[in-house]
Structure 1
């Protein structure tokens, strides 16, 4: 079986090679631009993807934590899903996205894809009470015989939910943590894990290795990759994942 590997593409987007599958997290492949919509917060993307959508090669599965925000699913990401690539996401995403093979999952619901069992993890995209503004979000737990267990946090900001996940699954071999402390003017709180909370989440999960995502390429990410590295400075578990470089985990 090929080794587990990851290629950081940008923002929350990575190509994960796992159990013989090629899996993309929250696909964002647009060029830098400003996203303006009267019904949404204006978001600014500062850097394009390390790998263009058309250069990805085979993609077997997409893990989409939610579909309502351009920093998790942009126009090129929609084009990827529209090709019919199997996509796991929220029930709302399955109801609202057309032209793709989107399967909606509830919290703790599992879905078998080839040799991999993917279970939807609870997530909260901000403080308690923010759900009506930000919408539903999920994370994912990946399990396969003979392979490491992998947790993908999605846009989660809640350590109590991480504790619930740890109670069921810890220790987790590899944790992909969205850790840029996303913030918008409408909500005075972090919408994703900040750097210190990411370190706490890793400890709760008993993770032997952490991959940091969602810390670069958008102006509303308030914590940088450098801040994440400081938070994990004495742990030795934060993987070095240069842009566009395949890294075995």
Structure 2
């Protein structure tokens, strides 16, 4: 049995501490109030600051960056910390833009994190699509991450990345035994593009978890920004009508406080 400590810092940003490793997902540490452009005339304001400051973080071994080109996944302060971490894993296009310690992965390719005295972590990139069909040229490349190391009891730790529910994400359910799912939700929409969604909504999360059957689901990426359309209350309303064996898998992380999760 392996205990992992997960600290939700805000938005998509979490600190994952496992067997001596410290991994940071999608670092966003700017203060609230700023407006960020997302391309093609869309933008959003940051409504809440991080629960921890960069100065409060322990030394970070690796950053798991689902994509580098949107400010709600990598902002100015988050970008500034990247050179000081051991490795940045991200998309191939993102690694080309970031350079330095960034390592690019295509979907279903893998790499390994290794350090003396710690179990190696095998990291496999998983598919993600940040919007409707044919949106990739506009919204850009995104990946998720599946983490596997010796001693896991329930299966891999999977970080979905910003994605809608589509065939590529369902492929994760077919190919991987997911024990813990860190799901990016929020049902992102913009006034300019009307009902078009750019991240998973609660109904999609319920449907996906019916296929994944994970032991634990940890929702993130649902609060703190103006373009997130489904907050916790909306997600809980959807969960209230879901089968109990799915509803009971969801676990809410308090911001700024580490939560121990058995993986």
Per-residue deviation, 1:34: 2.4
Question: Does structure 1 residue 154 correspond to structure 2 residue 161?
Answer: yes
Name the count of aligned residue pairs.
Answer: 247
In structure 1, distance between residues paired with 2:87 and 2:45: 28
Question: Does structure 1 residue 202 correspond to structure 2 residue 190?
Answer: no
In structure 1, distance between residues paired with 2:170 and 2:179: 16
Unaligned residue ranges in structure 2 (runs of 5+): 115-119
Match of 1:190 among 174, 179, 197: 197
Contact 1:3–1:18, Cα closer than 8 Å, also in 2: yes
Superposed, 1:38-77 pairs within 5 Å as 41-77=42-78
Per-residue deviation, 1:185: 3.4
Report what 1:225 is aligned to.
Answer: 232
Partner SS state of residue 133, structure 2: coil
Partner SS state of residue 3, structure 2: coil
Unaligned residue ranges in structure 1 (runs of 5+): none
In structure 2, distance between residues paired with 1:37 and 1:112: 34
Report what 2:103 is aligned to.
Answer: 103
In structure 2, distance between residues paired with 1:15 and 1:178: 15
Deviations 1:73-122 (Å, cap 9, x if unpaired)? 00011011122431100011110114x41100011000000210000000
In structure 1, distance between residues paired with 2:19 and 2:239: 28
In structure 1, distance between residues paired with 2:203 and 2:37: 32
In structure 1, distance between residues paired with 2:37 and 2:234: 31
State the superposition RMSD in angstroms: 1.7
Per-residue deviation, 1:209: 0.5
Report what 1:121 is aligned to.
Answer: 126
Question: Does structure 1 residue 140 correspond to structure 2 residue 145?
Answer: yes
Contact 2:60–2:85, Cα closer than 8 Å, also in 1: no
Contact 1:125–1:137, Cα closer than 8 Å, also in 2: yes
TM-score, length of structure 2 as denominator length: 0.89
Per-residue deviation, 1:38: 9.4
Contact 2:38–2:70, Cα closer than 8 Å, also in 1: no
In structure 2, distance between residues paired with 1:248 and 1:83: 26
Report what 2:257 is aligned to.
Answer: 245
TM-score, length of structure 1 as denominator length: 0.94
